[in-house]
Amino acid sequence: MFEVGKNVFLMLRQSSLFSSHVRYISASSNFIFRQLFDNISSTYTYLLGDADSKECIIIDPVLERVKRDFQLTKDLNLNLIFVVNTHMHADHITGSGYLKCLAGCKSIISRTSGAQADIYVDEGDYIRFGSHKIKVLSTPGHTNGCCSFYCQEQEIAFTGDALLIRGCGRTDFQEGNPVTLYHSVHNKIFSLPLNTLLYPAHDYNGMTVTSVQEEKQFNPRLGKTLEEFVHIMNNLNLNYPKQIDKALPANRVCGLHEVPKDLNNSL
């Protein structure tokens, strides 16, 4: 079993996070958690840290929000050690490359993603920050390289695009497969304890968090049989992703390392 980061992590003491359904209360006093949002791509970025070691990680950063995220780590006197992507995104350019330039951190993505990174992870690996760790769960179906990250101690998981709040990632492009996605969610995410809070990579309806119990009960797609789910996913008739033609080439090389002046000035 591979373990990333034997040292420590991030300092952001937040005792609670609210949504319309659940309130998150940290199970340990030194665990730091922030949920950040990009309103253009409706992407959630997550900052996790250890208040004692001052080490932190960022999950799914967005290029246009990098300076916001990096400034937050400095405000909190944290040392960003890893930037982690749940998968190779098609709807935005990852901020991984730019954060590497700013913070000197290392990038992480799944081995099967097809993207470049400093560190590749597989099912069962751990990413450590201080006294905390998240476990890698392979959850393909939206893309081949989709991963979720489970923090047993805090009873939370970050599901990327595999499982959204009352939805899931599309399966009609970029190696998508509805059968694979269905099994990934049911075997890996729905098998977690029912009270596990789930934080997705996106939300388009103002929701911030859900739980295993809620999604098993209320998800209108994944609460169906496999045959019903496949039929639903094969008949969504969604528009072509607006940013895919520029996002995928950039994300294959861990995002932009040399940021254009116009973007740099706007951040």
pLDDT digit of tens for each residue in the chain (267 aa)?
Answer: 566 654 333 323 333 333 334 446 677 789 999 999 999 999 999 999 999 999 999 999 999 999 999 999 999 999 999 999 999 999 899 999 999 999 999 999 999 999 999 999 999 999 999 999 999 999 999 999 999 999 999 999 999 999 999 999 999 988 999 999 999 999 999 999 999 999 999 999 999 999 999 999 999 999 999 999 999 999 999 998 889 999 999 999 988 766 656 555 555
| pLDDT of amino acid 26 | 79
Domain total in the chain = 1
Range of the domain at 40: 3-238
Give me 263's structure tokens.
């973007």
In a domain, 197, yes or no: yes
- 199 membership: H or E segment, kind and range: strand 197-200
Give me 70's structure tokens.
């990096």
Q: What is d(CA 141, CA 159) in angstroms, rounded to the nearest whole number?
A: 12
Q: What is d(CA 91, CA 263) in angstroms, rounded to the nearest whole number?
A: 17
In a domain, 246, yes or no: no
Q: What is d(CA 148, CA 133) in angstroms, rounded to the nearest whole number?
A: 13
The CATH code of the domain that includes 124 is 3.60.15.10
| pLDDT of amino acid 240 | 85
| DSSP conformational letter for 192 | S
In a domain, 170, yes or no: yes
Average pLDDT, the chain: 90
In a domain, 185, yes or no: yes
In a domain, 245, yes or no: no
In a domain, 248, yes or no: no
| pLDDT of amino acid 24 | 62
In a domain, 258, yes or no: no
Q: Give the residue among 4, 265, 244, 228 at the shortest CA–CA distance from 119.
A: 4
Its pTM stands at 0.89
Read off φ and ψ for residue 137, nearest 5 degrees.
Answer: -115, 120
- HSE-up (13 A, CA, CB side) for residue 157: 31
In a domain, 263, yes or no: no
Cβ–Cβ under 8 Å, residues 218 and 61: no
